[in-house]
A and B are shown apart, each in its own frame.
Chain A
C-alpha cells in the first residue's frame, strides 16, 4: 500500500478547541489550476479497463479502480490579515483486488497505461503475499454492476469558481464585525473540497462522481485583561455538502429561536453569526458559573450532532464492534449479542436513528460509495431498539445483510477504502413542537448550543460534552447565560432519558469535516441531522478551576 504525503498544517488560525491540525493532500497549486478540467471520462474508462484486465490476468477474482482528483482550497485569516491560502491538488489511482481470497491494495500517481498496469500487478502480488496470514477468505456481498453512470453534488455555485478576493473580503468583514462587537481576537477560515472520483470495478460499474463540500468557521475571543480572563465562541455554522451558496445567508433558512437566537439550516449568515458570537463571548466573561447537579437538557441540533456522532455513530460501526479498531479508536459496547437480542434499549421510544447517504446538502450524500454501492437509507435504532449497524461489502454477511450499506470511503486515491460513518441522524418528532414550546415545559434545565469540548471512552459508554453557549432555564423560561458547563453521562442512560423532540421545522444538520479513523489515519466528512431534543435529569459538572 502506498501512502500519501500527509502534511499537517498545525495552528494556522484555527481555534484551540476545534482542530489540532488540518490535513492537506497532494501538491500546492494556484487557485486557477483548481478550475482546470480533469481527464476526460472516456480516457478514465480506458485506463480503468487496463487495471481491471491486468489484475484479472494476474489472478485477481475481484478488482476495483479509483482514479481520483482531490482538490482543496483553504483560507485562513486572523483579525485584519490573511494568514494563508492553500490550494492543493492530489491526482492518482488506487487499485484494490482480491486474490487468494485476500485483499491487496496499491496506488500510484503514474496515471499512464503502463503505470496503471504495473500498479494493478503490485496490488495482486501484495494480496497473494498477505494471503499467508489470512484465516478466512474475503466474501463480498453481491453488487450488480451499474454500468456507466455519473453523480454530482447539486451545487448552485462552485466554490472553486469564486475568486479568492471575494472569500477574503467575506472573512475580513466577519473579523471586523466581530472586533466591533467586543471580540479581542478573531480567526476565520474557509474550507472547500472537491472530489472528482472515477470508480470502476470488475462487477461492471463505471461511476463518475463530482463531490463538493464546504465549511466556513471562526473563533472569536473576548479578553478581560484586568481579570486575566478570556472566553471564546466558535461559529455555529455546519460543514455541508454544498457549494458557495451555503454562504448566501438566506432569511428563509434561518430558524428563529428563543431570546433572539438564530439557527441556520441550509444557508449560513457568517457575518451575523460573528456579531452574535462576539457579543456572547463578551457576555461569557461575566456570566454566572453553573451549579453542578442534575438538569434537563435542551440540546440544539448544532450541539446534539456531535453527541449523536460520538455516542451512536461510532459505536455502531461494524468494524469497531468486531475489534478491527481495538488498538486505536477502540471497540464498542453495542456488541452483536445486544443487536441479536432484538430488545436492546439503546434509547427511549422517542429515539429513531437513521443512517443514510441520500439527504441533500449533507456531507455523506453521494450517488455511490467507494466500492460502487448505490447510496441508501436504513435504520440503526428503531423506537429505541438497536436494529442495525454500518457495514460494507465484506462485512454484510456478518450481520445477515444481503447487500452492503454503501458506506465505504477512502480519503484519497492512495488510501485504501474502509468502513466510514454515513450520515447518522435523529428523526424529528411527529408532534408539532418548537424550541420555545419545549423550554416552556422545563423546570430546571440548560439550553445548549454549539460544539464544545467532547470526550468519550473507547467503548462509547461514558461521555462528557461541553458547548459554545449555555442558557439557564427556570420554570419554563430562559433566565440568563451560564458558564463552565459540561454534562457527563452513559450512552444508554442518556438516550433513554430522551423525552421530547421538536418537529421537522426545527430539523438541521451538524457536521464533522475532518473525522479521523484508522491507522494510518484517514479523514472523512459526515453530517448528523436532528431537531432540538430534550434529555431529562442529566449530570452537569462545573469545569471552572483556579491555577
Chain B
C-alpha cells in the first residue's frame, strides 16, 4: 500500500525518531502510485503503473547533516537507516548556513485528494486514451498524447515535535493532434486534482479544431505584435518569472529584482497596475501543499517544514514579497516566506473569445515552446509559438500564421498588459488569457 493514512505514517515516523542519537533529526515519508499511458500515431506506445513508498532520514550534529533513504520498513532496516544517516552526518563538512529545525507548525487544512483519481485503474486510462484517439482516427488525423495520474501522500516529522501529513491526487493530460499532410497541428493540456473534471474527448476536440484550422498558415513579417496568450502559453513565462523571485539572489545583486546601487526592487512598481499575483494553498481550484520550502505540488520530500500560507507577490503592479531560504531570512531578520507551490494571476471575467472579439489586430498564441533564458538580468527569454497560431482582425480569427520565435521578458510583457481574462488552471496555477501589446517576435519558423 503506497498511500498510508496519517496514523500509519505517524507510527512509522515515531519509531524512526526513537532510534535517533543525533542532535536533531528529521524524517520524511512519501508514497505514491503513478500511472501513465502514452500514445502516438493513434496507437498506445507505453503504459504502466508504479508504486513507491520511501523514507528519508536526515541526522544533524551541530552544523553537519547527513541523509539516508530506504524503502524497507522493518525495525531493523529503519534503525540501520538512522545509523547510516548519522554516520554520513558525522563525516560531512560543516554547513555554515545550517539553521536548526523548526518546532511544531500549524498547517492549513487543504483538500487536494480526490477519491475519483485514486480509483483510476489501467482500464480507465485505456478508455481515456481511446476517447482521445478514436475521434482523430475517424477524422483522418494523427494523435499523440500523454496521461499521468498520481495518488500520493507526504509526511514529515522531526525531533523537535514537528509533524505534518498531506495526501493529494493529480492528473495531467496533454494532446497534440496533427493533420496527416503535416501542415496542421493543434494542442490542448489540462490538469486537475479530481479526474472527474477531465474529459479527454473534449480536450482532444480543442486540439482537433486547432489542427484543422492551422494548416495552410501564412507568413507574417516578424516584429512587435499585440498577442493573446492562452493560459497554456502564458504559464511558462510567468512560472519562469515567479521562479526568479528568490530574495537572496536579489540581495546579492544577481536577479531581475536587484537594484542599481545595491538593494532590491521590493516595494517598487515593476508592472502594469492591473497585475496582481498571489498564492493560496487553500484555493479550491489549485489546492497546494500545506508545507513549503521545497517539494512542489506534493510537498514533503524536500520540505523544511515551513507552513504554506496565502502570500501576495505582486499587488497593483508593485512587488510585495520575495521568497526566502530559512538561512537568508534569519540573516536578514525577516519572515522566511517559502516559495509557493502554485500561483494565481488575478484576472477579469472576460473569456478568451471575448478577448479575441475586442482585438482589432493581433495574434492568438496557443502554446510556447523551448523557452530558454537569454539574459537573467532582464529575464529575457526566447522560444517559439507552436500548435495553433492565428491572425486576428476586427475581432475575428482570420487565418493561421506561421510560427514565430520570440525574444521577450515577462517583466516587459506585464508592463504591456492590455487585458487579462478569466483565469483557468494551467500546470497547477490559475492563469488568465493575457492580451499583450508589442510582444516581440524576432524571426519566423517553418515548423508545424
Given A27-B69, A228-B259, A459-B447: A2 and B48 within 8 A (CB)? yes
Question: From A292, which residue of chain B is reached at the shortest CB distance?
Answer: B442
State the CA gap A130–B47 with chains docked (Å).
8
A327 touches B40 (CB 8 A): yes
Q: In the assembled complex, which residues on chain A have CB atoms less than 8 Å from the CB atom of B373?
A: 16-17, 453
Binds A, one of B89-97, B160-168, B330-338, B356-364: B89-97
Residue of A nearest to B254 (CB): A230
Partner of A1, one of B48, B92, B256: B48
Indicate if the CB atoms of A455 and B372 lie closer than 8 Å.
Answer: yes
Please report the C-alpha to C-alpha distance between residue A174 and residue B178 in the assembled complex, in whole angstroms. Answer: 50
- A227–B43 contact, CB under 8 A? no
Those of B375-405 within 8 Å (CB) of chain A: 375-380, 382-384, 386, 403, 405
Q: Is B206 an interface residue (CB 8 A)?
A: no
**Does B70 sit within 8 A of A, measured CB to CB?**
yes
CA distance A517 to B69 in the complex (A): 27
B391-448 interface with A by 8 A CB criterion = 403, 405, 407, 409, 411-412, 442-448
How far is it, in angstroms, between the C-alpha of A164 and the C-alpha of B66 when the chains are bound?
14
Cβ-defined contact, A457 with B254, below 8 A:
no
The residue of chain A having its C-beta at the shortest distance from the C-beta of B146 within the complex is A519
Is B41's CB under 8 angstroms from A226's CB?
no
Cβ of B68 within 8 Å of any chain A Cβ, yes or no, is: yes
Number of residues on chain B facing chain A (CB within 8 A): 85
CB-CB under 8 A for A328 and B146, given A133-B44, A226-B261, A459-B448: yes
Contact with B along A100-137 (1 / 0, CB 8 A): 00000100010000000000000000100110011100
Known: A28-B68, A184-B252, A458-B370. A3 touches B378 (CB 8 A): no
| Chain B interface mostly | strand
Query: A133-158 CB contact bits vs B (8 Å, 1 = yes)?
Result: 11100000000000000000000000
Whether the Cβ atoms of A547 and B447 lie closer than 8 Å is no
Q: A27-B71, A464-B405, A520-B148 are in contact. Are A228 and B448 (CB under 8 A)?
A: no
- Name A455's contact: one of B178, B383, B411 (CB within 8 Å): B383
Q: In the complex, are the beta carbons of B260 and A226 less than 8 A apart?
A: yes
Q: Which residues of B contact A486 (CB under 8 A)?
A: 374, 382, 407
Interface string of B144-167 (1 = CB under 8 A from A): 111010000000000000000000
Contact B44 A130 (CB under 8 A): yes
User: Which residues of the other chain, A, contact B407 by a CB distance below 8 angstroms?
Assistant: 464, 486, 541, 543
State the Cβ distance, A228 to closest chain B Cβ, in Å: 3
Partner of A223, one of B34, B252, B409: B252
Please report the C-alpha to C-alpha distance between residue A330 and residue B185 in the assembled complex, in whole angstroms.
Answer: 11
Of the listed stretches A200-208, A272-280, A318-326, chain B binds: A318-326
Q: Which of B49-57, B194-202, B308-316, B340-348 lies at the binding interface?
A: B49-57
Q: What is the minimal beta-carbon distance from A84 to any residue of chain B, in angstroms?
A: 9
Closest partner residue, chain A, to B262 (CB atom): A225
Bound Cα distance from A8 to B69, whole angstroms: 15
Tell yes or no: B301 within 8 A of A by CB. yes
The answer, yes or no, to whether B45 is at the interface (CB within 8 Å) is yes
Q: Mark A413-435, 1 if CB is under 8 A from B, else 0.
A: 01010000000000000000000
Q: How many Å from the CB of B385 to the closest CB on chain A?
A: 9
Check if A455 sits within 8 Å of B377, measured CB to CB.
no
Assembly CA distance A67 to B407 (angstroms): 46
For B383, the closest partner residue in chain A by CB is A455
Q: Is A185 an interface residue (CB 8 A)?
A: yes
Known: A227-B260, A323-B144, A326-B176. A1 touches B47 (CB 8 A): yes
CA distance A4 to B380 in the complex (A): 35
Establish whether residues B375 and A488, one from each chain, have CB atoms under 8 Å apart when the complex forms.
no
Q: Within 8 Å of chain A (Cβ to Cβ): is B175?
A: yes
By the criterion CB–CB under 8 Å, are B372 and A543 in contact?
no
Contact B377 A230 (CB under 8 A): yes
Closest residue of chain A to B129 (Cβ to Cβ) is A133
A sample of 17 inter-chain contacts (CB < 8 A) reads: A5-B54, A109-B71, A164-B91, A223-B253, A225-B253, A232-B376, A327-B146, A414-B50, A455-B371, A455-B382, A461-B445, A462-B447, A464-B374, A464-B405, A486-B374, A488-B442, A519-B146
* Supplied contacts A453-B374, A547-B411, 19 more A-B pairs, CB within 8 Å: A1-B36, A2-B48, A17-B376, A80-B96, A82-B92, A130-B47, A225-B253, A323-B41, A323-B144, A323-B178, A327-B144, A327-B145, A333-B447, A457-B405, A457-B447, A458-B447, A519-B146, A544-B378, A545-B378
6 tightest A-B CB contacts, nearest first: A1-B48, A228-B260, A462-B445, A326-B144, A459-B447, A457-B447
